[in-house]
Structures are given as C-alpha cells and as structure tokens.
Structure 1
Amino acid sequence: MNRLAHETSPYLLQHADNPVDWWPWSDEAFHEARKRNVPVLLSVGYSSCHWCHVMAHESFEDAETADYLNEHFVSVKVDREERPDVDAVYMEAVQAATGQGGWPMTVFLTPDAEPFYFGTYFPPAPRHGMPSFRQVLQGVRQAWGDRREEVAEVAGKIVRDLAGRELAYGDTEAPGQEEQAQALLGLTREYDPQRGGFGGAPKFPPSMVLEFLLRHHARTGSEGALQMAQDTCERMARGGIYDQLGGGFARYSVDRDWVVPHFEKMLYDNALLCRVYAHLWRATGSDLARRVALETADFLVRELRTAEGGFASALDADSDDGSGRHVEGAFYVWTPAQLAEVLGPDDAELAAQYFGVTEEGTFEEGASVLQLPQSEGVFDAERVESIRRRLFGARAGRPAPGRDDKVVAAWNGLAVAALAETGAYFDRPDLVDAAIGAADLLVRLHMDEHARLARTSKDGRAGANAGVLEDYADVAEGFLALASVTGEGVWLEFAGLLLGQVLTQFTDGSGALYDTAADAEKLIRRPQDPTDSAAPSGWTAAAGALLSYAAQTGSEPHRLAAERALGVVKALGPRVPRFVGWGLAVAEALLDGPREVAIAGPALDDPGTRALHRTALLGIAAGAVVAVGTPGGEEFPLLVDRVLVGGKPTAYVCRNFTCDAPTTDPELLRRALSG
C-alpha cells in the first residue's frame, strides 16, 4: 500500500495499492520533489470517471511504468471532487495550453507547483496521434534534465498568464429586464427544437437553465420559456439518459437525442433535476414531471443515502457484466433475450415495444438502453407496471456499479433543498425527514464551532480539506429551503452563519467572489469562476442564498452583496446564457422582489395553517421565501408583528417594502403568488 491508504477519498483509495508511490496533495510531496530535484506528476480524476479507471489499469497498475515514475518523479494523486480548487487552477492551465480539458487530467509541475506540460488521458502505446504515457514520461524527464532553464521559463510564463486572467470586475449592477430578455433570446437561438436541450452531442442536462426558464415564465408569462423547459424535460425523461426502471438521471447523453447515456449517476445532477421537475409540476401540474420528481427523489434515498444520513457522491458507469468483464452500462442495458428470460415471451414482446428494445440494439453488442419512445397511453398501465417491477427486481440481482461514498457538502446541500421541497409538494414526509437527516449530518460533522465547513466526509469521518464557496452557498441554500418547509428557524440561523463566512472570507469588497477562502491554502492563483459547470457556480449560488436570506431577515448587507455579485450575470447573461443559468435564475428572483411570505398560525399542525403554508410553498413567484410559525414568533423575522386576522391563520405577502392586505383565504394567497 502507498501513502493513499490513509485517505478518505474513495478515488484515492482506489489507487492505494498501485505500485506507483503516490502522494496526496500536500506540502510534503513538493518538499520531496525539491529534495530529490525531480518534477511532479499531478494526476487528477474522480471515482466514477471511466477513462480514469482505464488509464489506472493500463499505466498506474503496470509495474514497469510505476518503477519509472517512482525513480524520476514525485507522483501526486488528487480527487477533483475533494479538491475542486486544485482541479480548477490546473484545468485552466490545461485548457489554455491545449484548447481542451477533461479527466483524467495529467499535468507536470516544478517542485514549486508551477505547471509546464499538460494532457489528459495518455494510452500505454502510441495511437490516434497520441504519444504513449511512457513516451511522455521520458520526454518530460529529458527536458527536466537537459533543458531546465527552458522548463522554468515556460512554467513562469504560464503562471504569469494565469495571474493575468483574474476577472476584471467593473459592473456591479444586477441584470435588468433587458438583459434577461436578451439571455432568453440567446437561449432560443441555441435551443434544439427537435430534441430539446441546447447544442449538439454530447448533450448535458441543462438544470440551471431550466430553473431560469421556469422563473422567467413565472415572472413574465413567457410561453416560449415554458415550452423550452417543458419539451426539454419531457425529452430527457423519455430518453435513455433517465433510468426508466429505477429513476434518476445519468451524467449526460453521448448523442443529441438523449438515447445513450454516459451511465454514471451523480448526486448533484439528480438533486438539481429532482428540484427542476418538482418546480415544473408546480407550474404546470404535469403528471410526467410529478412522476420523475418522485422517482428521482426515491432513487436518491434508496441508492445514495449513506449510513450516517448523508448522500454519496456517485454511482460508477461501469460494472461487471456477469462474465467477469467490467463494462460501461452493463447494469442498465437489455437485449430481447434478457427480457424474455425475465418476463416470458408475451410480456417480453410488450416490454420491447414499450421501452424501445430492438434486436439491433441502441447501445453495444446488441443491447438497448431503455427509453419511452411511444405514448404510454396505448399500453395497458397495470401490465406495464408489473413488467417494470419484475425488470427492476431482476436487475437488482446483477452486479451493481461501484458507489463513491464520499459525502460532499455542496452536493448534499443541493439534495437537502430538493428533498425538502419535493417532500412538501407531494405530501411525502419521509423525503423531508431524509433532507433533515442530511442537514443534521452537515451541521454535526462538516461544520465546526466557527461555522467553517469541511468539504467532504466518509464513514462518519470529516476530511481534512476546507470547504470552498460552493459548499457554503449550496449548504445555505439547502438550509433555507428546509427552514421554509419545516418552520424550524434553526435552519435559518445556520444558513446565516454560513453566509457570514461568505461575506468575510470569500468576497473582495467590489462584489466579486473567490472560490476559496481568504485564509485557504495558497495555490499558483486564487480560483475564481462565476460560470456554471455541472452544478451552479459557487459565485451565483452564493448570490442566490444571500438574496433569500436577505428576504427572510431584512438584512441589507446580504442583499447588497447579492446584487453586487449579480453584476457579472449582467455582463455574461446576454452573451453566454447557457453558462450562467443559475445567475439568471437568481436575477429573476431579484426582479420579482423576491416576494416575502409570512404564515402566522396557532400551530403548524393546525389545518388552516397547513393549508396556507402549502399554498405558499406551491406559489410559482420567482424566488419567493416562506416563513411559518406562531404570530410574532422570534425564529423568523418575517413573523414579527404578524397577527391573526379574525383569530384565523393569516398570510402576509410583501415585496419591495410594500405589503398586500393580509388574507386568511388560500385561494387569494395562491393568486398573490401566481407569478
């Protein structure tokens, strides 16, 4: 076993028995490189990354390659999900140097952590115009030995170039209606009207953009925005990217039609999409949206919840195909013969029609990914449900994909928000309880007495890596949603503590935000990125949480910080709306107020209070915040001075320092929050 044996990251532990003498990212590793006067190999990946596993098997498990690495390099392994700051800094360098990026990421550094040679996956033998990994190692070693001054010059230039890329943040004014309309127009140009979604293959679920479209429709009544959201959600839910038996979404589709996924399932994708489909149902009443939201929530709880109550990061794409081969998608795909083996010939024929399983297959080796290519209305619903149950049971007997049990604070915050709201919308208290369990774990294990967050934990043990901006923002977002759903003000208090850290540790005074805290480990540059990737950027997620907290508490510093942080969305939204979807969604909330809803009632289990509370949660007004409790309750500032009207539970709706007349009628409240 090498030095990774004592780490908490499942990805690092996968490499703990490699013959490579791996080091975790640490000062000690770079000290060792200086002492030996050798370069550093930095290899970055994550547990469910297919090509990371391939390169590990081909190169890092090879004794001859390992011997060469151990003699001429100090090898450092990083889990990008555990250290997003390290990943971001060096990925920026890789993309700047090569025009592309991805994982595994392979970077060669000086002992001062300055990069000088870059790549991603390298094969064990030359192919497709790529050098072999051994050739790369030999070339780097020769350059280090014979052209050290040239290497130092290149490394210094790269570091200077990266330093010059720091965001020039001038405009701190939030987007207005004109910028939002321009962003919608830009999305319309990139929209795929035949297939849903944006752009070509590979096609990723546009979770943050969908949230913007729903909020924009709520605020403006734009039917075009709603149509894009509805059609994209339907195409994804009917495609192979959605697990038609067990619920939940794969990472992305390799084709434009959502047919063949990259089969890994990520916590952040499913938390975000669960919430999107719940919000789509709230806006439209769609039965499809309701089913997908609940099935995705059930997937999260069934397959990703850990023994400690948190949620694991991911399920692998690969699994054993039953014959000893580790194959991508093996757990999920079916042939007609496999359907017949489980269902018998008659039901197998129906299942093949219903799920689009063909003799030719839609995937590899004649296997098909299950889809819903036809209208379900032409099939017998009871018979189909019986088929679905039997296939799901049979699939459970297959070798399961590996699970990355690492609990990431940010992604658990997203799951808390999704499960809390989905449970409240559909009267599923078990889902709300699951959200509370994850929130409890975040407070108990990830959050210290100074409200500083640990990025990860595993098996009830907090990792050593500090939380980054997205952790503080997304956990605060989850706590704010939980406060609105449960009426427990302690979650509002915890959110306030985390957002206090955002204001003191992650801002620069101009409105810009950094991804790492002011007192975090110093890298070759301090990472800073306002654009979304697979999840909301920490920058715009913080803006959203700050705005909601300000609406709940009346805090002017939090609102001002949110407005100033949205200045970057004003600049980027009209030009690249697909990459600032969450920021555009937050800007919709700001333009709408956001509306502040206080429900004063004698008790949460009072029928009148429950009716008003549920109506408030189902209001589609963009970014509305909800507080519920006893009249004048101190846990929620919105309840101060709120009294019962005629002795009945009463709702108050305010925005922009103006309040509607209080009402005891759920229907009048619904109209006040109808967009």
Structure 2
Amino acid sequence: MEEKQKHTNRLINEKSPYLLVNWYPWGEEAFKISKEENKPIFLSVGYSTCHWCHVMEHESFENDKVADVMNKFYINIKVDREENPGVDKFYMTFVQLTSGGGGWPMSVFLTPDLQPFFGGTYFPPDDRYGRPGFKSLLTRIAQIWMATPDKLINSGKSTVAQLKAYAEAKPEASSSETVDPWSLAEKVYDYFISSFDTKYGGFGKSPKFPTPVQLVFLFDYYGYHHKSEQDEKALDMVLYTLDKIACGGIHDHIGSGFHRYSTDQKWHVPHFEKMLYDQAQLLSAYSRAYQITKKESYAIVAKDIVHYVSRDLQHKDGAFYAAEDADSLPNDQATKKLEGAFCVWEAQEIIDIIGEEDAKIVFYFYGVENQGNVDPTQDPHGELENKNVLMQIHSEQETADKFDLTKDKVDHILKQAKEKLWKHRLEQRPKPHRDDKILTSWNGLMISGLSQAGSILNEPSFIELAKKTATFIHSNMYNGETGILLRSFREGPSNIEGFLDDYSYLIQGLLDLYEATFDEQWIKWAYSLQEKQNEQFYDENNHGYFNVNSEDKSILVRMKEEQDGAEPSGNAISVRNLIRLSTLLQKESSRYNKIAQDTIESFYTELSKFPFAMPALVSSFLLVAKGVKEVVIIGSDNSKVDDFITTVNQEFAPNLLLVRLDATQTQNKNDVKFLCEQNSVFQDLIQKQDKDRQAVQAYICENFTCGLPISDIDVLKSKIIPTSTSKE
C-alpha cells in the first residue's frame, strides 16, 4: 500500500483533462525515481477525445490487479500527445519502425534513461487469440528486466542510435540538381488523380478524412497556372470533395461543424469527435472555394463552421478549445457513453419533435429511414442500431419538386426543423465531453481561417474573433521578455514550451491577420516569433527545422517533420512564412530566403521519392520558385481604399500578399511605421504619394520592384490573375 501511495496523485495539478489521473507527468521527477529505484518506465500517450485510450484506461488502468503490477514494477507516465507532441513524435517513430504500425493509445516501455525497448498501441487486458494481454505483458517484461536488464538497456541504446543516425542524415548532395518544383507538383497532381473517388469525392475508399492539406495543394496547383484543362480538373476535385463533405454525415447538419472522419466511403457515418484543427482548415478551404467560384453554398458552410466554434469551443476571453468527444451519454439516466449519442436520431423521435408533416420533408432531404440508415458494417458495437445519421440526399429543389412545394417553403421547413432538433439535443441529451485545453498551434490555424474567411466573405466579426484569439495567446501564452511561446493553456498556462508547429502556425496566422486588418503589430510579433523559431529549432548544420527546441533534453533525438498529417508539416509552413516575411521585411530578405531554400533542399531526398506525402511542402516549394506577388494599396480615402481591398480579396492567387500603406504614416518622422522601417520600397512608394494623399493607387510588386501605379479597379483585377498558363 505504501508503494502504491508513493506513486499516486502526481497528475492532479496537470492542465490536460486526459492527465487528471494518479500517474506521473513527463518530467524530471519521474525520471529521477526510475533511476533511483532501477525500474523501467511505462509510457502511455493518448489524448482527451481518443476512444481507444478510454477503452484501455477503463479495461486496464482502472483494474486493481493491473494497477498493482504497474505500480510495483514500473514508473508510470501519461502524456497528452496534443500537449507534448515532441514525446509523441519520437516514441511513435520507434513504435512504427519496430511494429509496422502506430496509433493511440501508444504504449511504450523505456529504460530509466528514456530509451525505448518495446512498444505498441492498444493492448487488451487479458490474453486473447494466442496473443498476450496487457497484464501478461507487464509481468513478462518486469521478469526480463529483473533477470537480464542489460539486454533491454542495450536494445534501447541500439534503437536510439539508429533513430539518431536516421534523423541526422544529410541530404544527398546530387539530388539538388534533379528536383524541380513544377515536376514535383505534377507528380503530386497525378497521384491525387489516380486516387480520387469520382463518385463520392475525396481520395481513396474508407475510412475517409477531409484532408484539407491535400485540398489546399490542389487549390495552389490550380491557382499558379490555371485555365488549362488539367488545372481545371484540380479545382474540380476540390470543389466536388467539398460538396460531398458538406452534404455528408461527417457534417453535423443540426449542431454545425465537422466530425473527424467518415468510417465509410460515402462520408455518411462519421467518427463523431470534432477537432479544432479540422474546423480551422476546412474554414479556409470553404472560404477559398467561395472566393474562386462565388457560390453561396460555400459561404454558408464557412459561416456554419464559425457558428460552431464560437458557440461551443470558444473561451470567454477569446481563443478556442481543442475538441469535443465522440462518445456521450444518450440521456440523463444512462451510465454508459455511446459513440454519436448526441448526434443521431430515431425516426419516431424526429416525428415527435417536429411533427409528421414536416418530418416527411426532413426524411426525404436527409435520408432518414424508419429502421435507421446506418449500415451494420459501420456499427461494429451496435451503438447505432435503429439510428439515423443525417446526410443530405436530395437538394432543396428536388425536395420541393417531390412534395409540390416552393423552394422557399422547403427552406423554411428545414430551418425550423433544425432549430427544434438542436433545441431537443441541448435540453434532452448530455453534451459530449469537451477537451477545454487551448493549444497555440491549433489556434494559429484558427486565426488563419477566421482572417481569410473574414476578408473573403466580408465578415468583420470573423476578423474580430481572430484578433481576440491572437490577443489571448499574446497575453496568456507568450513571454514577451524571453520571446518564448507556451504550448497550451487550461485554467492557466502550462509549463510546456512551444514546439515547431506552435511557432509556424501562429506566425502564419499573424501574417493572415495582418492582411485582414493591416495592423502592423501582428507583423512585428510574427517577426519576433520567426527569430525565436530560428534560434530554437533551426538546424544550422543540415538545415530544416526540428520539431522540438534545443533546450529539451528529455527528447533523446530531435526529429524533423516533412510529411503532412491531419495538419501541414511545420517545415512546410515555415518555408511559406519565411518567403512572405522576406517580402515584407527587406532587411531580412536575403537571410530568410536562404533559410527557406536550404530547408527545402534538406528534404530533397524525401521530395524526390514521395512528394505526394508532403503536398504542403511542395506548395511551399512552388512559392519559393514563383515568388510573392505583392499588391500594395496606398491612400487615405478609406472608402476607395476599401473598394480596392475588396477587389483584391475577391481574387485568388496562391502567391498573393496584400499590403496597405498610408502617406500619413511617415508624416511624423518620429512615428515611422514598422514596415517602412524595414522596407525601403514602401518608403519610396509613400514618398511618391506624398503630394496627393487623397489619391488611392495600387502597385504590383515582385522582387522588390514595383510596376506603374494603378488607379482603376478593373485594371488591378486583370493584373492579379495571370492570363498566361506559363509556370515561369
């Protein structure tokens, strides 16, 4: 009992809800005790809304017999992968290389020196089908450790040495002569063409993820040299996919926002958790789709996403929480959580809530069936039996034609039905658990999404949300004296310093926020963060950025991430940030361009072999090759300036950067604005404008050279979008 008590209550003060159990957090205290008591470490990595993490927790970690073995023979550490992605990345790489797969929960056994010697993912509590259960595994490894610890220690050392050699390998010197960004883009495009689902949209079969990183690449591919048949096909794939996702069950038609992924090919039955990073990236994608097509349906979906996050994920002072769980109690009397319980419907339930006549409309529109519309193969645990996942099967016009109604009448019925169903959900069903930690990186993505949507859709309230988010991070998760970002906030800031994606995503968000507000404080902060990122993460020897900073000695090997996952790689976003900043900050142009180019070159080998795994890096490579097209608008006639800005925001060019200057900025020599201090081109343009400050003119600038002033909006519009299909 004394032994058990000695190792409990270590995580009560941790910020993540997943960590509010009696284990050790990742840190020196656990490492020290492991060495002193000569016990191996059992490391469990998961996250708050992870279904199988909860399963293993209930089956094993809350089992007295299992807990006794763990506490007697191991020092046990739990890590939230979203709070500490550096730990997750390193040990997940080990698990993937040694087992051929990965996932969460991740279960890894370490020596007291943190070297991994065995790992896997979910383990059932008991032996099953000839495979050892978790209790047997714990016992066997403990026996080996006590009998022959050197065997496990040497295995761990060998593994770490191999990972270190892999991570520190220099790029092939000869590869730089053969890698062309446009050729890489063609390969990625061809890959997406070959894997595109022409019937349901998206790529591959099932399970299906929204993959906004891939959609962004296809937008860029289209935008750099559109108008050809091939480039139009790239756009068609994106728009068709966005249409299908918006209609699918992955879209919460009653509660707004998007679920994590679809378990089937048709986007019908989702895994019901909702992640902030999906909302942020899909917000950008739907806004971009509206910008290109001007179709109101895309604007409606973008606004729906903002409605969801501002209602359900927003902290009272700004910034956004991480996620909502897939599982919830079906009613107040229930004791067992079921996946999707908050979202799914029985047919009779809908009739009781909205009435039989309106239900006919809803059933036809959303594909509701009396016995449920979920394929049993998509419901292995029987949790969705007789349930309906709403999915738009027919259009408003088709529904109107079916019931001999006007489209306006159908719209009215559907709107009222959704309001009644949402009210029922709120009043009669317990809400899913909300992971209420605030992550810097995901909020950086949200700042980008809100800034872009606000500018494109002309929704100032969205931009205000972005400003509140940036202000929250600056006030609560940033040390102005040291320049250090913190990773997370929950009931106060955590003590975990930011990782590469925290810096790169936030810098990107601040640059997007500047283009939405033209407030130079966001550029100044982005510049400071970029300098700190370079200092803490850049590899001066082999180039590229590590995902953890140089001060974190608990990570035995600093890894670099070039491949995209649910989010773009930090290196890809960093390259893009450097190029944008180098355009704005002339004094840093040469240095930042070199870091960007060297970062790209450091991944030439990987880019040559499988560029389709890193579309964000290929997109950034295209930006390096093409260069930024800077539109500078000058003048103090705010009404006309706004007309110019609106015109620019209506046009899509992937390398566009919008700047607003005002001649009054340099009127007082003691009040020179930041951009003019950093960029002589801006100073020259303002001086030219000085004689007539009311005049509004635009300049197209590339490579710090600007064309003639443009005072006609139509001419400006024609200059933004190229008429040539040339890539040069």
Matched, 1:208 2:247: no
Equivalent residue for 1:377? 397
Equivalent residue for 1:332? 343
User: C-alpha offsets along residues 183-222 of structure 1, whole Å, 9 cap, x if unaligned?
Assistant: 2112212222222112232211111111111111111111
Equivalent residue for 2:503? 472
Q: Name the SS for the 1:5 alignment partner.
A: coil
Amino acid across the alignment from 2:323: A
Identity of aligned residues (%): 32
Equivalent residue for 2:417? 387
Measure the CA separation in 2 of the matches of 1:253 and 1:576: 26
Measure the CA separation in 2 of the matches of 1:215 and 1:569: 20
| Per-residue deviation, 1:641 | 2.3
* Residue correspondence of structure 1 range 115-154 to structure 2 within 5 A: 115-127=116-128, 130-154=131-155
* Contact 1:186/1:576, CA 8 A, preserved across alignment: no
Q: Name the SS for the 1:71 alignment partner.
A: helix
Equivalent residue for 2:600? 566
Measure the CA separation in 1 of the matches of 2:215 and 2:129: 38
Q: Which of 236, 246, 249 is matched with 1:237 structurally?
A: 246
Q: Name the SS for the 2:485 alignment partner.
A: coil
* Contact 1:175/1:566, CA 8 A, preserved across alignment: no
Greater Cα radius of gyration, structure 1 or 2:
2
Equivalent residue for 2:726? none
User: C-alpha offsets along residues 107-126 of structure 1, whole Å, 9 cap, x if unaligned?
Assistant: 01111111111111111223
Equivalent residue for 1:91? 92
* Contact 2:43/2:110, CA 8 A, preserved across alignment: yes
Equivalent residue for 1:161? 162
**CA distance change for structure 1 residues 614 and 130 in 2, over 3 Å: closer, same or farther?**
farther
Q: Name the SS for the 1:102 alignment partner.
A: coil
Amino acid across the alignment from 2:701: C
Q: Name the SS for the 2:118 alignment partner.
A: strand
Equivalent residue for 1:257? 266
**CA distance change for structure 1 residues 411 and 172 in 2, over 3 Å: closer, same or farther?**
farther
Structure 1 alignment gaps of length 5 or more: 17-21
* Contact 1:183/1:575, CA 8 A, preserved across alignment: no
Measure the CA separation in 2 of the matches of 1:569 and 1:484: 30
Q: Name the SS for the 1:528 alignment partner.
A: coil
Equivalent residue for 2:639? 607
Task: Name which of structure 1's ranges 254-263 and 567-576 shifts more when overlaid on structure 2.
Answer: 567-576
Q: Which of 296, 303, 307 is matched with 1:287 structurally?
A: 296
User: TM-score with structure 2 length normalisation?
Assistant: 0.88
Matched, 1:365 2:385: yes
Q: Name the SS for the 2:12 alignment partner.
A: helix
Root-mean-square deviation over aligned CA pairs: 1.9
Q: Which of 334, 354, 374 is matched with 1:343 structurally?
A: 354
Measure the CA separation in 2 of the matches of 1:583 and 1:93: 24
* Contact 2:171/2:604, CA 8 A, preserved across alignment: no
Task: Name which of structure 1's ranges 302-311 and 628-637 shifts more when overlaid on structure 2.
Answer: 628-637
Equivalent residue for 2:403? none
Measure the CA separation in 2 of the matches of 1:67 and 1:291: 54
| Per-residue deviation, 1:402 | 0.8
Equivalent residue for 1:585? 619
Task: Name which of structure 1's ranges 221-230 and 359-368 shifts more when overlaid on structure 2.
Answer: 359-368
**CA distance change for structure 1 residues 128 and 596 in 2, over 3 Å: closer, same or farther?**
farther
Measure the CA separation in 2 of the matches of 1:608 and 1:356: 49
Measure the CA separation in 2 of the matches of 1:134 and 1:195: 44
Q: Which of 440, 452, 459 is matched with 1:421 structurally?
A: 452
* Contact 2:347/2:372, CA 8 A, preserved across alignment: no
* Contact 1:621/1:673, CA 8 A, preserved across alignment: yes
Matched, 1:672 2:708: no
User: C-alpha offsets along residues 481-530 of structure 1, whole Å, 9 cap, x if unaligned?
Assistant: 11111010010000000111122221122432211122233422112111
Amino acid across the alignment from 2:522: W
Equivalent residue for 1:486? 517
Equivalent residue for 2:192? 187
Amino acid across the alignment from 1:446: M
Matched, 1:11 2:22: no
User: C-alpha offsets along residues 232-261 of structure 1, whole Å, 9 cap, x if unaligned?
Assistant: 111111111111123211111112221111
* Contact 1:319/1:330, CA 8 A, preserved across alignment: yes
Measure the CA separation in 2 of the matches of 1:567 and 1:666: 40
Measure the CA separation in 2 of the matches of 1:117 and 1:482: 45
User: C-alpha offsets along residues 518-551 of structure 1, whole Å, 9 cap, x if unaligned?
Assistant: 2233422112111111111111111111111112
Equivalent residue for 1:272? 281
Measure the CA separation in 1 of the matches of 2:170 and 2:359: 60
**CA distance change for structure 1 residues 496 and 654 in 2, over 3 Å: closer, same or farther?**
same
Matched, 1:352 2:398: no
* Contact 1:175/1:587, CA 8 A, preserved across alignment: no
**CA distance change for structure 1 residues 245 and 664 in 2, over 3 Å: closer, same or farther?**
farther
* Contact 1:263/1:318, CA 8 A, preserved across alignment: yes
User: C-alpha offsets along residues 352-375 of structure 1, whole Å, 9 cap, x if unaligned?
Assistant: 211122223215212121111222
| Per-residue deviation, 1:128 | 5.0
Amino acid across the alignment from 1:381: D
Matched, 1:445 2:476: yes
* Contact 1:628/1:639, CA 8 A, preserved across alignment: no
Q: Name the SS for the 2:462 alignment partner.
A: helix
Measure the CA separation in 2 of the matches of 1:81 and 1:489: 31
Q: Name the SS for the 2:451 alignment partner.
A: helix
Amino acid across the alignment from 2:514: A
| Per-residue deviation, 1:5 | 0.3
* Residue correspondence of structure 1 range 42-57 to structure 2 within 5 A: 42-57=43-58
Equivalent residue for 1:432? 463
User: C-alpha offsets along residues 468-487 of structure 1, whole Å, 9 cap, x if unaligned?
Assistant: 11111000001101111101
Measure the CA separation in 2 of the matches of 1:667 and 1:246: 41
Amino acid across the alignment from 1:291: I
Equivalent residue for 1:650? 697
Equivalent residue for 2:324? 315
**CA distance change for structure 1 residues 574 and 617 in 2, over 3 Å: closer, same or farther?**
farther
Q: Name the SS for the 1:396 alignment partner.
A: helix
Q: Name the SS for the 1:4 alignment partner.
A: coil
Equivalent residue for 1:19? none
Q: Name the SS for the 2:192 alignment partner.
A: helix
Amino acid across the alignment from 2:30: A
* Contact 2:448/2:509, CA 8 A, preserved across alignment: yes
* Contact 1:652/1:661, CA 8 A, preserved across alignment: yes
Measure the CA separation in 2 of the matches of 1:666 and 1:570: 42
* Contact 1:592/1:622, CA 8 A, preserved across alignment: no
Measure the CA separation in 2 of the matches of 1:36 and 1:154: 20
Measure the CA separation in 1 of the matches of 2:329 and 2:488: 28
* Contact 2:538/2:544, CA 8 A, preserved across alignment: yes
| Per-residue deviation, 1:345 | 1.2
* Contact 2:450/2:466, CA 8 A, preserved across alignment: yes
Measure the CA separation in 2 of the matches of 1:569 and 1:203: 28
Amino acid across the alignment from 2:96: Q
Task: Name which of structure 1's ranges 188-197 and 110-119 shifts more when overlaid on structure 2.
Answer: 188-197
* Contact 1:599/1:639, CA 8 A, preserved across alignment: no
| Per-residue deviation, 1:286 | 2.2
* Residue correspondence of structure 1 range 54-65 to structure 2 within 5 A: 54-65=55-66
Q: Name the SS for the 1:3 alignment partner.
A: coil
Amino acid across the alignment from 2:565: S
Measure the CA separation in 1 of the matches of 2:318 and 2:343: 26
- Tell me the number of residue pairs that the alignment of Structure 1 and Structure 2 aligns: 666
* Contact 2:222/2:234, CA 8 A, preserved across alignment: yes
* Contact 2:171/2:603, CA 8 A, preserved across alignment: no
**CA distance change for structure 1 residues 291 and 127 in 2, over 3 Å: closer, same or farther?**
farther
* Contact 1:454/1:463, CA 8 A, preserved across alignment: yes
| Per-residue deviation, 1:589 | 2.8
* Contact 2:184/2:611, CA 8 A, preserved across alignment: no
Q: Name the SS for the 1:357 alignment partner.
A: coil
Q: Which of 635, 646, 651 is matched with 2:674 structurally?
A: 635
